[in-house]
């Protein structure tokens, strides 16, 4: 005797049940976030206010020492900045350098996160320990280590390249050419930045329901299809966070550039905006000009991150 299985039905929603009130949830979230927002405002509002205020004054060493009065000059600092060809050159180099660092950090971190999710516990632990060691290394110490590795006379990299047949690399200076110097600094920045992406992406991959991946595989989906249709859409919110953080970090890199290029490279060929602002403010004793560069950098960062977040929210894959 056989029994016939009854078809499953989806229970109807209970009568009178109200839909989720998103506005009420938003107010609750704002209340929970209010203490952190107040703390951030207290720590950031006054410094930003002072930065903007100083950018409207002629503020040099005499004004800083109190031997001369402050002179309000309005937007003259910004006008001088816009009219200076050096500013636009440095800005273009900064954007290109930051973009290379962001792409490199995201690529290396994501690839290693996928690798970590597929290997056994011991190699995964070693990978995380090595990555966190790179992340925990101070920027100055890491910069000097990379300079020693790529030293023209005693560097291990040149020695290895010569031994495998690249004899022209003997006594090669990696920090003389503009592009080779930027590439070297970018590699060091990626080295100390990718662990954040690795940890973030690995957490996102482990949060994906394995039954979903198994079902897609049983249905005949290829690895490319699984990656593009399941894994990447699931990682999209985390990828946005990692991208925004990387943009902010890499756009305002100072220590690595300053240490590895000895203050901006030969004739300032490796200047970025942060080092340029430092030179104007402290080396040139023009704090008003340095403050104006800081304000421009802040506005650029807000614009870039705002456009990126807006584009992600408009995407169909936004979760």
- Domains of the chain, by residue range, sit at 53-314
pLDDT 10s digits, 68-86:
888 899 999 999 999 999 9
CATH of domain 53-314: 1.10.3720.10
Task: Extract the residue ranges of the chain whose pLDDT is less than 70.
Answer: 1-22, 312, 314-319
Q: pTM score, two decimals?
A: 0.82
Query: Tell me, what's the pLDDT at 1?
Result: 44
94 CB burial (10 A radius; 0-12, 13-18, 19+): buried
Query: Tell me, what's the pLDDT at 180?
Result: 92
Query: Tell me, what's the pLDDT at 127?
Result: 92
Query: Tell me, what's the pLDDT at 165?
Result: 87
């Amino acid at each position: 005797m056989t029994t016939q299985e009854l078809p499953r039905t989806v229970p109807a929603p209970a009568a009178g049940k109200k839909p989720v009130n998103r506005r009420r949830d938003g107010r609750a979230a704002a209340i929970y976030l209010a203490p952190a927002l107040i703390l951030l405002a207290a720590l950031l509002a006054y410094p930003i206010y002072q930065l903007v205020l100083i950018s409207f004054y002629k503020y040099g060493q005499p004004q800083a020492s109190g031997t001369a009065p402050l002179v309000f000059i309005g937007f003259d600092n910004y006008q001088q900045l816009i009219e200076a060809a050096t500013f636009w050159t440095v800005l273009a180099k900064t954007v290109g350098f930051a973009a290379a660092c962001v792409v490199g950090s995201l690529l290396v971190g994501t690839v290693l996160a996928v690798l970590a999710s597929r290997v056994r516990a011991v190699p995964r632990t070693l990978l995380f320990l090595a990555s966190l060691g790179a992340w925990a290394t101070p920027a100055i110490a890491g910069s000097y280590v990379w300079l020693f590795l790529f030293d023209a006379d005693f560097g291990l990299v040149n020695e290895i390249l010569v031994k495998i047949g690249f004899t022209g690399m003997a006594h090669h200076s990696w920090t003389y050419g503009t592009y080779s110097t930027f590439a070297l600094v970018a590699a060091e920045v990626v080295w100390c930045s990718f662990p954040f992406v690795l940890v973030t992406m690995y957490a996102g991959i482990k949060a994906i329901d394995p039954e979903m991946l198994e079902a897609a595989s049983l249905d005949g989906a290829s690895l490319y299809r699984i990656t593009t249709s399941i894994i990447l859409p699931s990682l999209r919110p985390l990828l946005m966070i990692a991208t925004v953080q990387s943009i902010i970090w890499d756009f305002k890199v100072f220590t690595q550039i300053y240490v590895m290029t000895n203050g901006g490279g030969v004739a300032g060929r490796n200047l970025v905006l942060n080092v340029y602002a430092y030179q104007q403010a402290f080396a040139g004793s023009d704090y008003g000009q340095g403050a104006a560069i800081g304000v421009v950098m802040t506005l650029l960062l807000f614009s870039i991150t705002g456009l990126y977040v807006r584009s992600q929210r408009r995407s169909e894959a936004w979760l």
